[in-house]
Amino acid sequence: MTIAPVACLDQVSVLVEPRMRELIGRLDPRNQRVTAYHLGYCDADGAPTAAVGKGIRPALALLSARAAGQRPERGVDAAAAVELAHNFSLLHDDIMDQDTTRRHRPTAWVVFGTAAAILAGDALMIMAHDALAGDDRPGGAVAAQRLDADVHRLIAGQAADLEFERRDDVSLDECLAMTADKTAALMSCACALGALLCGAPAALTEGLSRFGTHLGMSFQLVDDQLGIWGEPARTGKPVGSDLRAGKKSVPIVHALASGTRAGDAFRALYASDGLPEAELMTARRLLEEAGSRDWVQREADRHLAHALDELAALELPGDVHGDLVDLARLVTGRKH
Amino acid sequence: MTIAPVACLDQVSVLVEPRMRELIGRLDPRNQRVTAYHLGYCDADGAPTAAVGKGIRPALALLSARAAGQRPERGVDAAAAVELAHNFSLLHDDIMDQDTTRRHRPTAWVVFGTAAAILAGDALMIMAHDALAGDDRPGGAVAAQRLDADVHRLIAGQAADLEFERRDDVSLDECLAMTADKTAALMSCACALGALLCGAPAALTEGLSRFGTHLGMSFQLVDDQLGIWGEPARTGKPVGSDLRAGKKSVPIVHALASGTRAGDAFRALYASDGLPEAELMTARRLLEEAGSRDWVQREADRHLAHALDELAALELPGDVHGDLVDLARLVTGRKH
């Protein structure tokens, strides 16, 4: 009965991408060019390319509509809105973090300049509203408010993340709250928005929302591990990229706050402006000795288990439940 | 019968500012600090100060509600939404243009850094939606869509403006279209949004919208003149700031496209990376000789006259009509 995860993600290219392309097509030519490049619809010269990005959030939004007993088509606007909001934040975050590569391509600000990338991000955020502002659906206004609230959290999380890079007294609780804002809020939004847009009952939308929060936490904790121990060929980023950048991701803050000898040695090594190449392996070993790698993996597993518990409690139709479980496992296991 | 313009602007501080402060107060502390500084509610250390900014757009939005036969209170959310969208664009534009001073204070990116100013702008844009997303008003959805459409134009206009700085073949039509997008769209939005939110009939909202478009054009043409001939004490900017910055504002593009001997001499002088101090006075004289200063003043007058004609055709109550005329004259005459 269960559609394989690949088929579930395939629905994104079949159903959501055309809607995204239609929305992008309404933009002025200058912003159209930058956003289409960022989304992988074209190269820097405007020649068509295959879209990039895994489409996890839109896939969740389509499943959210199906969880409400509707066809996935009814979740398309929610899916487009969440994916546009996500890409708004990527465009701006890449500028703030001065990241030069995303999805194995130069970032938009590198290709078109900072000003153009700021404007393109702005345009995508407004467009996320356009996606939801169609006909008068029962849940249209509620969905738009939910999206706005979670984008506020996303912005707050990014502001905290940037501040943490300059501080050496970040607590683990602060760091987890930042993660909940920066990543889990929009993932939770994706899981609830399709159902919200269909006017589903609160018991369902709130359950989906909690599923998404735990899924988002698990996803980010796995991502934090990859930022330290991930293989460049899989992550598309250099070895130990978060350590090089001086980030305060969860494993790093866990070690700094661990009170262990290894944690203290890591603190002595870890300058706020990032680690030099020669120290990367030492730093990774100290994080492992401080128990931070294991702790983060356990937390990721714990959040995934909570997510699946929330899902089970909703007593969804078997095929929808199966697809959501498969997608949750894919997202947190990082299988391609 | 007519309330003096000052009283009309006073209503902004009495009615709109508390709503803006309440909305800002919902933000996370980091973005609250940057947005409150930018809006002049506090200094860089967070100590309270008097709000800055003239409040023209919110004043127009309050009058828009009154034009629909409602009390100004009914236009408060529209006024807050437009002012927040305007300030979103100022925060981002100051980064893109690398402007270091606004309203006689250091710009937010100078004080808090580029990343913090990008995020603060993002937060204000989302908040503009929050302002409109209150109870289920008759025109709530329509007002939100109108705001989004005009913010798209504002973004398109800024993208064009930045591109023009790097081009030397900008036509006068292109330049006027950019002005319509970058400035007149949001001014027109302010004039229509209060009435839209009250569910006013299309004949009224469309008439107010056309009034706002002409007013916005006139306002920007006057502003373009001040960017070249304005006194620093009044503008808060250095002498000839647009010439120094290499802008392609309307008077400059008019001269470049004039085919006059003075225009050609100006072109030879005007490098894309701006004019040195020593050449400013020569450049201003050449613009005057090319007839560009006079042409822009005539266009500003023509648009103001059109704006007032549109207003007269609406046959508004005398006090509302009078206040709108007074405000239009204030805005385009730059009286303080």
Within 8 A by CB and 6+ apart from B307, the residues are B211, B212, B214, B215, B218, B328
Residue A136's pLDDT is 66
Q: What are phi and psi of A87, to 5 degrees?
A: -75, -30
Give, in order, the Cα–Cα distances in Å from A199 to each of A186, A230, A315, B145. 19, 41, 18, 21
Helix axis angle for A114-132 and A29-38, nearest 10°, is 90
Give the pLDDT score at A49. Answer: 85
Give the Cα separation of A311 and A213 in Å (integer): 12
Query: Which H or E run includes B77?
Result: helix B76-96
Q: Encode pLDDT of B276-304 as tens digits.
A: 888 999 999 999 999 999 999 999 999 99
Nearest to A115 among B96, B130, B152 (CB): B96
Integer Cα distance of A72 and A28 in angstroms: 30
Share of chain B above pLDDT 90, in %: 79
pLDDT for A336: 40
Residues A267, A170 contacting (CB under 8 angstroms) = no
Angstrom distance (rounded) from CA B63 to CA B320: 7
* CA dist., res. A76 & res. A19, Å (int): 8
B30, A159: Cβ pair inside 8 Å? yes
Helix (H) / strand (E) element for A105: namely: strand A105-106
Eight-class DSSP state of B70: S
Secondary-structure class of domain B5-41+52-333 per CATH: mainly alpha
Name the DSSP letter for residue A106: E
For residue range B157-181, list pLDDT tens digits in order: 999 999 998 898 999 999 999 999 9
Which of B121, B130, B155 is the closest to A123 by Cβ? B155
Enumerate residues 6+ apart whose C-beta is below 8 A from B326. B2, B4, B5, B8
Cα–Cα distance measured from residue B50 to residue B84, given in angstroms and rounded to the nearest whole number: 17
Write out the two tokens for A76: 């398309």
Q: What CA–CA distance (Å, rounded) separates B226 from B271?
A: 20
Q: Cα(first)–Cα(last) distance of chain B, in Å?
A: 22
Distance CA A127, CA A144 (A): 12
Average pLDDT rounded to a whole number, residues B13-42:
95
Among the listed residues A176, A172, A179, A182, the one whose alpha carbon sits nearest the alpha carbon of residue A256: A172
What is the pairing mode between strands B101-102 and A101-102?
unpaired
CB A312 within 8 A of CB A285: no
- Which pLDDT belongs to residue A139? 84
pLDDT of residue B49: 85
| CB-CB under 8 Å, B130 with A125 | no
Reported ipTM: 0.93
Residue B166, chain A, CB below 8 Å: the answer is no
Query: What are the two backbone dihedrals, phi and then psi, of residue A101, each rounded to the nearest 5 degrees?
Result: -135, 135
Q: What residues of A are in contact with residue B158 (Cβ under 8 Å)?
A: 119
Q: What is the pLDDT along chain A (336 residues), one digit of tens a residue?
A: 344 556 778 899 999 999 999 999 999 999 999 999 999 999 999 898 876 667 999 999 999 999 999 999 999 999 999 999 999 999 999 999 999 988 889 999 999 999 999 999 999 999 999 999 866 677 888 999 999 999 999 999 999 999 998 898 999 999 999 999 999 999 999 999 999 999 999 999 999 999 999 999 999 999 999 999 998 877 777 778 899 888 999 999 999 999 999 999 999 999 766 788 889 999 999 999 999 999 999 999 999 999 999 999 999 999 999 999 999 999 998 554
Residues 6+ apart with CB under 8 A from A331: A56, A215, A218, A219
Whether the pLDDT of residue B246 is over 90: the answer is no
Which residue among B96, B116, B126 places its CB closest to the CB of A152?
B126
Closest to A274 (Cα-Cα) out of A306, A301, A245, A233: A245
d(CA A183, CA A179): 6
In the structure, what pLDDT confidence band is assigned to residue B335 with cuts at 50, 70 and 90?
Answer: low
Class of domain A5-333: mainly alpha
Which of B101, B97, B117, B89 minimizes the C-alpha distance to B249?
B97
Per DSSP, A260 falls in state S
Nearest-neighbour CA in chain B from A121: distance (Å): 9
Sign of CA dihedral B231, B234, B239, B240: negative
A–B: how many Cβ contacts below 8 A?
118
Confidence of residue B336 (pLDDT cuts 50, 70, 90): very low
First to last CA, chain A: 22
Best to test chain A binding among B87, B126, B129 (most A CBs inside 10 Å): B126
Enumerate the domain spans of chain A: 5-333
Q: Which residues of A touch B26 (CB under 8 A)?
A: 152
Residue A119, pLDDT score: 98
Which tokens belong to A3? 């559609």
Residue B103 is predicted with a pLDDT of 85
Give A3→chain B minimum CA distance, Å: 36
Contact between A263 and A285 (Cβ < 8 Å): no
- Nearest CA to A56 out of A12, A88, A116, A104 is that of A12
Pick among A89, A146, A152, A167 to test the B interface (most B CBs inside 10 A): A152
**Torsion sign across C-alpha atoms A296, A298, A301, A303:** negative
**Min distance B197 CA to chain A CA atoms (Å):** 15
Confidence check: pLDDT of B92 > 70: yes
Helices (H), B230-291: 232-235, 241-244, 250-256, 261-269, 280-289
Q: Where are the beta strands (DSSP E) in chain B?
A: 101-102, 105-106
Q: Is the pLDDT of residue B109 over 90?
A: yes
**In this complex, is the C-beta atom of A129 within 8 Å of any C-beta atom belonging to chain B?**
yes
Q: Which residue of A has its CA nearest to B147?
A: A126
Number of H-type helices and E-type strands within chain A: 18, 2
B95 near A CB under 8 A = yes
| Residue A236 bridge partners (DSSP) | none
pLDDT at position B266: 95
